[in-house]
Amino acid sequence: MADVGKTKISVERKINPFGETKTKKAPDWFKARPGAESAVSDLTFKRTMELDPRKWKKKVIEDGIYAVARYELSLFSTALGGLEKDILNARPKERKKAKFLRNDKDETPDEKKALDDAETQVRKLFKKMSSQIDDKVSVALDEIESDKGDNKKALAGGKDALKKFDTLNTSGMFSKLTSQVVKAIYMLGVEIEKSGDEADKLAFKKAATTLDKVKKDYDGTARTTKTVASYLLTQGKKMATDTKADPELQEIGKMISKSGKVNTSLTKLSGTIDTYEKSLDGTIAFVKGGTSTASAAKSWATRFGNEHKSKDKAVAEAVKSVKLVSKKFNEAARKVK
């Protein structure tokens, strides 16, 4: 028998694991590795609860389930984007636009390795993501059922994002990566110069190996930093207009979403990371092209260094903003019930 004033509400929400990607569906390369495709499936959550119908609506709760999962879905989307770029970079020029096929006999050794590695990563990533989402949704529904969910739901996503940001080593993020890129390209120029503008394949391979490591470090720090910044901007806008949220939380949302230092620094950081990624990808393509003159390589190194020497300023400003937001979140967590 339901409590007085409460009624049974049954909710069911199916979550598309690709929900935060641009296409909302599995990337094309999954066709070449069915194992990746079979490893990823929709996440479904069901529960029947006794709730106050004046306070809770079926659609609100079901939408809330997706909101709770959005951060993990964003990280999964970011990781998939990185894996796809690695696969395309491993493909020779003449196969860049070729369709992905199962048991493709034209796959090169580098392409095969990239696809196999990506399949392994997808299995691990999805297993981790689904477990995290399952835990978070379970806690959120428990809080709703015990009538404690209103404000805790608003706090949960932001606190997770801030916690993730705290684990990232953003100090000198761009300068560290840039110095490695500049050194690798400049030394490639030196090697070409020694061999009369025709360096052997080993010199290009050495530079490419260094840049692959830089890209991996970039994916682990810069990409995740952008995901956190984008998530805070999106959630801040929603919190600012959430009439069910406590005023403390609405104020945090306004601080993030309205024009000011916090919004400007997070937006600038996101754009800076996009610009850097495009430049880094272009540099990797240049090296893996396998042809260059000594002067062209050295000029590329100089240009890359000059273009990105001041980008750490954007990181520093964003870190200040995140620390401010984090402080406000902690204060709200203590006050809001």
Residue 305 covered by a domain: yes
Same domain, 128 and 255: no
**Residues 186, 327 share a domain:** yes
Residue 152 counted as domain residue: no
Q: List per-residue pLDDT tens for the chain, 337 residues long.
A: 445 468 999 999 999 999 999 999 999 999 999 999 999 999 999 999 988 888 788 998 999 999 999 999 999 999 999 999 999 999 999 999 999 999 999 999 999 999 999 999 999 999 999 999 999 999 888 878 876 555 565 566 677 778 777 777 888 889 999 999 999 999 999 998 887 655 678 889 999 999 999 998 898 888 888 888 888 888 888 888 876 667 788 888 888 888 888 899 999 998 999 999 999 999 999 999 888 888 999 999 999 999 998 899 998 898 888 888 888 888 877 766 5
Q: Give yes or no: residues 311 and 180 share one domain.
A: yes
Complete DSSP assignment for 299-333: HHHHHHHHHHTTTHHHHHHHHHHHHHHHHHHHHHH
Split into its structural domains, the chain has a count of 2
How many whole angstroms separate alpha carbon 203 and alpha carbon 211?
A: 13
Range of the domain at 37: 1-147
Exposed, middle or buried, 118 (CB in 10 Å: 0-12/13-18/19+)? Answer: buried
243 and 136, same domain (yes or no): no
- Quote the CA–CA distance of 45 and 224 in Å, as a whole number: 27
How far is residue 98's CA from residue 92's CA, in Å, rounded to a whole number? 10
Q: Looking at the structure, do residues 185 and 218 belong to the same domain, yes or no?
A: yes
Same-domain status, 47 and 76 = yes
Question: 43 with 14: CB under 8 angstroms?
Answer: yes
Contact indicator for 292, 188 with CB cutoff of 8 Å: yes
Q: Tell me, yes or no, if the pTM score tops 0.75.
A: no
Q: Tell whether 114 and 19 lie within a shared domain.
A: yes
Is 157 within the bounds of a domain? no
109 within domain boundaries: yes
Where is the domain boundary, 147, 175, 203?
147
60 lies in some domain: yes
Distances 27 to 38, 143, 301 between C-alpha atoms, Å: 13, 35, 33
- Asked whether residue 212 falls in the same domain as residue 129, the answer is no
40 within a domain of the structure (yes/no): yes
